[in-house]
Amino acid sequence: MELRLHDTLTREKRTFVPLDPNNVRMYVCGPTVYDFAHIGNARPVIVFDVLFRLLRHLYGEAHVKYVRNITDVDDKINDRAARDFPGLPLNEAIRKVTEQTGKQFHADVDALGALRPSVEPRATEHIAEMREIIERLVAGGFAYVAEDHVLFSPQAMNAANAGLPRYGALSNRSLDEMVAGARVDVAPYKKGNTDFVLWKPSKPGEPSWPSPAGITAEGRPGWHVECSAMAWKHLGEHFDIHGGGIDLVFPHHENELAQTCCAFHQQRMANYWMHNGFLQVESEKMSKSLGNFITIRELLADWPGEVLRLNMLKTHYRSPIDWTMKSLEESAKTLDDWYRVAGDIEPGRPAASVVEPLLDDLNTSLAIAALHSLRGSDVPALAGSLRLLGFLSESAAQWEGRKQQASGIDTKEVERLISERTAARSRKDFKESDRIRDLLAAMGVAIKDSKDGTTWEVAR
């Protein structure tokens, strides 16, 4: 069966045909590194990791290139640096913020079982490519210089009529309506009210680089051109898949597409544009002001990363997801069970019943339903399928041990109490054995008696 993917641009599911099956290329917009990543940020990381794994399964590990950038020039980073390191020169403070946040991001996504992308480019290392794209856009008449800014003109793009896509096609908007609806307080140097920044002057003390297009003052890039430059450098002028969260469709991806297609005279930037739906928490939009803002790191203190991963994949990537405690508890129970049954089993080939739904635009909810059926019918296939999806990264004993450690339970003390209880039971002192059972329960330990003896686990 072939892979079919939903393309935001054409608004349909199409058979995936790579430009070059020996070099399948995917770009996903990564984080802006100024703060801990929240659980919403984990969604594109996990979703596109599953796609990366599936593409590697289909085309071979050596034939898939996945690029996820790190945005390390941004006003939010500058603000955070000034706030957290007031004593340091701004550029040094910025380096501290991006280094710390970048490290934390890696620790978080590693714990979620996400493979590292093939390349993780940083914006600040691609300024030359950004300047080159900007020069091309100015030379082509798509961009202009005004008061030390360089601005892109969507109207010039749509007037060019030169085998280019239409500005607004990705986000399904009409440029005329955007022009009519634009706010009135548009910056005075803009010729058109939908024109957007490719390059702007830096304020004193801010990071700055030599400017393109004959501007003498130093400056810095706009956000959208960063991704055009990094995608071009690592994947070329035209590649297979571009992904990110649904909030990025407009303006970020619309503008990336416009820049790249106009700079390189391409009809397309990516053949498939894929967007994950948004995540909300207990039926509410996640926001700092509502107090329901959860970082990946906070969740990892209470749950193994694979529990977060499973919880994310239970919902199809294009649907909104409601992140709830109840669902997390269910995901944890499911994984405990899968580890017990399949954690130490030699993995077989991933089952067709799991791969087929994945081929249908990453239908992970159906794939997970198939995993539940495999549990009773084919455990090696369950183990192989779980691995394909990025689960079972540890042994059953490691999983159980880590859970006990995370719960803060003293394993030795539990074992001691259990043998005391066994002794009490064999001398028929049921009062004492019940007392010990209650004591264990109060410690958060659930015990189970069977003919082979007493086992225990952390009660959730």
Q: Min. distance of Cβ 48 from Zn ion in angstroms?
A: 13
Nearest CA among 271, 270, 288, 277 for reference residue 322: 277
Choose from ligand AMP, Zn ion, none: what does 31 bind? Cβ within 5-8 Å by kind: ligand AMP
Q: What, of ligand AMP, Zn ion, none, does residue 245 touch, CB below 5 to 8 Å by kind?
A: ligand AMP
Q: With respect to Zn ion, which residue has the nearer C-beta, 245 or 384?
A: 245
Interface residues with Zn ion (CB under 5 A) are 29, 227
Cβ-based nearer residue to ligand AMP, 25 or 275: 275
Phi-psi region of 453 (alpha: psi -120 to 50; beta: other; left: phi over 0): left
- 121 makes contact, choosing from ligand AMP, Zn ion, none, with CB < 5 to 8 Å by partner type, with none
What is the smallest separation between the CB atom of 276 and ligand AMP, expressed in angstroms?
Answer: 6
- CB nearer to ligand AMP: give 277 or 444: 277
The entry of ligand AMP, Zn ion, none near residue 154 (CB within 5 to 8 angstroms by kind) is: none
Nearer to Zn ion, 223 or 339 (CB): 223
DSSP secondary structure letters along 127-196: HHHHHHHHHHHHHTTSEEEETTEEEE-HHHHHHH-SSPPPTTTTTT--HHHHHHHS-S---TT-SSTT-E
40 binds, among Zn ion, ligand AMP, none (CB under 5 to 8 A by kind): ligand AMP
Measured CA to CA, the distance from residue 233 to residue 322 in angstroms comes to 37
Q: In whole angstroms, how close is the CB of 76 to ligand AMP at the nearest point?
A: 9
Q: Is the CB of 107 or the CB of 459 nearer to ligand AMP?
A: 107
Q: Least separation, in Å, of the C-beta of 347 and ligand AMP? A: 31
Using CA atoms, how far apart are residues 395 and 417, in angstroms rounded to an integer? 26
What is the C-alpha R_g of the chain?
Answer: 26
Sign of the Cα torsion 123, 129, 131, 137 reads negative
Using CB distances below 5 to 8 A depending on partner kind, what does residue 227 bind out of ligand AMP, Zn ion, none?
Zn ion
Q: Name the residue among 400, 303, 409 with its Cα closest to residue 344.
A: 400
Nearer to ligand AMP, 124 or 276 (CB): 276
Instruction: Select the binding partner of residue 41 from Zn ion, ligand AMP, none (C-beta < 5 to 8 A, by kind).
Output: ligand AMP
What's the distance, Cα to Cα, between the start and end of the chain in Å?
A: 40
Choice between 45 and 418, CB closer to ligand AMP: 45
Nearest-approach distance from CB 137 to ligand AMP, in angstroms: 23
Kindly tell me which of 43 and 224 has the beta carbon lying closer to ligand AMP.
Answer: 43
Task: Report the distance separating Cα 33 and Cα 109, nearest Å.
Answer: 14
In the complex, the smallest distance separating the C-beta of residue 323 from Zn ion, rounded to whole angstroms, is 24
165 binds, among ligand AMP, Zn ion, none (CB under 5 to 8 A by kind): none
Q: Using CB distances below 5 to 8 A depending on partner kind, what does residue 279 bind out of ligand AMP, Zn ion, none?
A: ligand AMP
CB atoms within 10 A of CB 214: 8
CA distance 282 to 323: 6
- Minimum CB distance to ligand AMP, residue 145 (Å): 28
Strand partners, 244: 275
Q: Which residues pair with 145 in a beta bridge?
A: 150
Task: Summarize as ranges the residues that interact with ligand AMP (CB under 6 A).
Answer: 29, 31-32, 40-41, 43-44, 244-245, 247-248, 276, 278-279, 286
What is the DSSP code string of 326-387?
HHHHHHHHHHHHHHHHHTTSPP-PPPHHHHHHHHBT--HHHHHHHHHHHHHH-HHHHHHHHH
In the complex with ligand AMP, which residue's Cβ is closer, 153 or 276?
Answer: 276
How many CA within 13 A on the CB side of residue 456? Answer: 25
Judged by DSSP in three states, 215 sits in coil
| CB of 97 vs ligand AMP, minimal distance in Å | 14
The least distance separating ligand AMP from the CB of residue 427, rounded to whole angstroms, comes to 58
Nearer to ligand AMP, 227 or 409 (CB): 227
User: Could you say which of ligand AMP, Zn ion, none residue 65 binds, taking C-beta under 5 to 8 angstroms by partner kind?
Assistant: none
249 neighbors 220 (Cβ within 8 angstroms): no
Can you list the alpha helix ranges (DSSP code H) found in 39-125? Answer: 42-59, 75-84, 90-111
Q: How far apart are CA 136 and CA 377, in angstroms?
A: 60
Residue nearest to ligand AMP (CB): 245
Residue 303 C-beta: closest distance to ligand AMP, Å: 18
